């Protein structure tokens, strides 16, 4: 007889779709919003995600950059492994406008609480209750159970911090579950068609891994790389057999390499000048890079002499001229990058070879970490590597992992690796007894 939990899970899997809210405008909608938030001079929440990015980038007249606060990638900024996070921890804004040496700060717990409050209040009202299916349903906020996911490498303090932020945002303790991200990812991946083996209902699924099978979950996010190892202990249960390890080699490492390149090409003074005088254009270039990065594939890197084109806002050219007295187009022609980069009016072209190199560090570190991990005695018998997280949408990354580990291990990437954690968290919310044990930290 299946247990009640088992039946609920089955119902969710088979009859209920897990809805995913789409973020952004027009055709470029995504499953996740960027981790960006904007506050006004009184530390009052203004906008989140793409809206915050756009407010910040496109409305320089309305925003007082010297007094407003803009935070991005704030999760990773806060949780460097060595830091202890408390209610007193301050979060530094992303961009210092007037004085790059002294960044404005807000209490981190207030930043997180404001974002949670926006997501649980506004978004629920707008998305959930307006949907045809739920229109007319009487509900109280207490009727909703929330699952907040945290990376497995977070320590106890970071988890307490998240609970505090949720409480501040008005979520009652009894309505909150914290889920570890690789656990959520593996719960999801055990439920969907991800492999090429079939279970007895003819469904392709990692659930076909028999009891005793061991696998690695590699979660490649924006900031962090989370690597955890599990063993299947039952139809709906997992056991962690190796503590989370990993580092800060997510998608933003690639962007950081691009920043280093800009620094070498243009110099610090030019970049600082753009930041101070035209912050929206500073962000526009990084935004353009993010777009190009997301469409850059392994196929491009097979054509190393071809180019990627980045629109370059004119103020970058102006500031280069003002600071150096030289024309950027000519300077690039004489620089060490002359065979790999060119600038023509408001376009910067970068060869695929150079563009590919921005991924090198992130890939090198991940492969090294995985090699070290897989050598460990207690990982003997691991057969499968499950890859999730937004950065794993990149074929540059997945090809590199395949090349290094594809012969010895089965590599599994779910269809939408970026939302595996989110959907798994929903399933976990219905049955948090799925994880039978964890390796104690």
Ligand X SMILES: Nc1ncnc2c1ncn2[C@@H]1O[C@H](COP(=O)(O)OP(=O)(O)OP(=O)(O)O)[C@@H](O)[C@H]1O
Provide the binding-site residues for ligand X, judged by CB under 6 A: 32, 35, 75-76, 151, 221-224, 250-252, 290, 293-294, 389-391, 393-394, 418
Q: Which is nearer to Mg ion, 221 or 417 (CB)?
A: 221
Query: How many residues of this chain bind Mg ion (CB under 5 A)?
Result: 1
Q: Which is nearer to ligand X, 270 or 425 (CB)?
A: 425
Q: In the set 34, 49, 182, 221, which binds Mg ion (CB under 5 A)?
A: 221
CB of 390 to ligand X, least distance (A): 2
CA separation for the pair 364, 369 (Å, rounded): 9
Q: How far apart are the first and last CA of the chain?
A: 35
CB of 417 to ligand X, least distance (A): 8
CB of 395 to ligand X, least distance (A): 8
CA separation for the pair 363, 415 (Å, rounded): 21
Q: Which is nearer to ligand X, 297 or 436 (CB)?
A: 297
Q: Name which of ligand X, Mg ion, none residue 75 binds, using a CB cut-off of 5 to 8 Å depending on partner kind.
A: ligand X
CB of 410 to ligand X, least distance (A): 22
Q: Which is nearer to ligand X, 5 or 290 (CB)?
A: 290
CB of 9 to Mg ion, least distance (A): 23
3-state secondary structure the chain: CCCHHHHHHHHHHHCCCCCCCCECCHHHCECCCCCEEEECCCCCEEEEHHHHHHHHHHCCCCCCCCCCEEEECHHHHHCCCCCCCCCCCEEECCCCCCCCCCCCEEEHHHHHHHHHHHHHHHHHHHHHCCCHHHCCCCCCHHHCCEEEEECCCCCHHHHHHHHHHHHHCCCCHHHEEEEEHHHHHHHHHCCCCCCCCECCCCCECHHHCCCCCEEEEEEECCCCEEEEEEEECCCCCEEEEEEEEEECCCHHHHHHHHHHHHHHHHCHHHHHHHHHHCHHHHHHHHHHHHHHHHHCCHHHHCCCCCEEEEECCHHHHHHHHHHHCCCHHHHHHHCCCCCCEEEECCEEEEEHHHHHHCCHHHHHHHHHHHHHHHCCHHHCCEEEEEEECHHHHCHHHHHHHHHHHCCCCEEECCCCHHHHHHHHHHHHHHCCCCEEECCCC
CB of 334 to ligand X, least distance (A): 32
Q: Which is nearer to ligand X, 182 or 195 (CB)?
A: 182
Kindly list the distances between the CA atom of residue 286 and the CA atoms of 289, 291, 292, in Å, as whole numbers in the listed order: 5, 9, 10
CB of 225 to Mg ion, least distance (A): 10
CB of 142 to ligand X, least distance (A): 28
Q: Which segment (38-46, 119-127, 214-222, 402-410) binds Mg ion by CB under 5 A?
A: 214-222
Q: Which is nearer to Mg ion, 218 or 274 (CB)?
A: 218
Q: Which is nearer to Mg ion, 195 or 221 (CB)?
A: 221
Choose among 306, 340, 321: nearest CA to 266: 321
CB of 294 to Mg ion, least distance (A): 16
Angle, helices 420-430 vs 4-14, to 10°: value is 140
CB of 398 to ligand X, least distance (A): 10
Point out which residues pair with 147 in neighbouring strands.
177
Q: Name which of Mg ion, ligand X, none residue 246 binds, using a CB cut-off of 5 to 8 Å depending on partner kind.
A: none
Q: Name which of Mg ion, ligand X, none residue 214 binds, using a CB cut-off of 5 to 8 Å depending on partner kind.
A: none
Q: Name which of Mg ion, ligand X, none residue 294 binds, using a CB cut-off of 5 to 8 Å depending on partner kind.
A: ligand X
Residue nearest to Mg ion (CB): 221
Write the CB contacts of 440 (distance below 8 Å, at least 6 apart in sequence).
none
Q: Which is nearer to Mg ion, 221 or 414 (CB)?
A: 221
Q: Name which of Mg ion, ligand X, none residue 46 binds, using a CB cut-off of 5 to 8 Å depending on partner kind.
A: none
Q: Name which of ligand X, Mg ion, none residue 393 binds, using a CB cut-off of 5 to 8 Å depending on partner kind.
A: ligand X
CB of 33 to ligand X, least distance (A): 9
Q: Name which of Mg ion, ligand X, none residue 32 binds, using a CB cut-off of 5 to 8 Å depending on partner kind.
A: ligand X
Q: Does 414 help bind Mg ion (rule: CB under 5 A)?
A: no
Q: Which segment (56-64, 81-89, 126-134, 218-226) binds Mg ion by CB under 5 A?
A: 218-226
Q: Name which of Mg ion, ligand X, none residue 72 binds, using a CB cut-off of 5 to 8 Å depending on partner kind.
A: none
Q: Which is nearer to ligand X, 177 or 335 (CB)?
A: 177
Q: Name which of Mg ion, ligand X, none residue 252 binds, using a CB cut-off of 5 to 8 Å depending on partner kind.
A: ligand X
- The number of C-alpha atoms within 13 Å of 380 and in the hemisphere containing its C-beta is 2
Binding site for Mg ion (CB under 5 A): 221
């Amino acid at each position: 007889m299946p247990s009640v939990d088992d039946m609920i899970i089955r119902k969710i899997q088979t009859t209920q779709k897990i809805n995913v809210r789409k973020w952004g405008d027009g055709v470029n909608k995504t499953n996740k919003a960027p981790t960006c938030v904007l506050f006004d001079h009184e530390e009052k929440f203004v906008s989140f995600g793409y809206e915050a990015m756009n407010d910040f980038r496109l409305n320089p007249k309305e925003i007082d950059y010297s007094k407003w606060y803009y935070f991005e990638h704030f999760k990773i900024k806060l949780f460097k492994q060595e830091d202890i996070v408390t209610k007193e921890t301050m979060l530094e804004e992303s961009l210092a406008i007037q004085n790059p040496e002294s960044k404005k700060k807000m209490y981190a717990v207030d930043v997180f609480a404001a974002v949670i409050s926006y997501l649980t209040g506004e978004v629920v009202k707008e998305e959930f209750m307006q949907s045809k299916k739920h229109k007319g349903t009487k509900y109280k906020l207490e009727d909703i159970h929330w699952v907040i996911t945290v990376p497995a490498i977070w320590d106890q303090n970071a988890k307490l911090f998240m609970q505090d932020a949720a409480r501040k945002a008005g979520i009652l303790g009894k309505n909150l579950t914290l889920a570890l991200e690789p656990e959520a990812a593996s719960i999801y991946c055990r439920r969907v068609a991800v492999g090429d083996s079939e279970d007895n209902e003819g469904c392709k699924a990692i659930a076909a891994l028999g009891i005793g099978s061991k696998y690695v979950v590699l979660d490649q996010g924006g900031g962090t790389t989370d690597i955890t190892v599990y063993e299947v202990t039952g139809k709906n249960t997992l056991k962690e057999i190796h503590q989370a390890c990993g580092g800060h080699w997510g998608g933003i490492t690639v962007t950081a390499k691009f920043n280093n390149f800009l620094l070498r090409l243009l110099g610090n003074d030019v970049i600082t000048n753009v930041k101070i005088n035209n912050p929206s254009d500073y962000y526009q270039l990084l935004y353009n890079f993010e777009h190009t990065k997301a469409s850059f594939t392994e196929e491009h890197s097979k054509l190393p002499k071809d180019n990627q084109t980045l629109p370059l806002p004119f103020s970058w050219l102006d500031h280069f001229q003002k600071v150096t007295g030289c024309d950027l187009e000519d300077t690039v022609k004489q620089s060490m990058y002359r065979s790999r980069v060119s600038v023509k009016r408001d376009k910067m072209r970068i060869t695929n070879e150079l563009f590919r190199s921005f991924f090198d560090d992130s890939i090198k570190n991940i492969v090294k970490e995985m090699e070290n991990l897989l050598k460990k005695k207690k990982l003997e018998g691991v057969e499968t590597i499950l890859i999730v997280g937004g950065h794993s949408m990149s074929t540059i990354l997945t090809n590199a992992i395949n090349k290094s580990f594809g012969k010895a291990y089965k590599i599994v990437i779910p269809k939408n690796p970026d939302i595996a954690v989110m959907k798994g968290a929903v399933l976990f919310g219905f049955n948090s007894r799925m994880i039978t044990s964890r390796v104690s930290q």
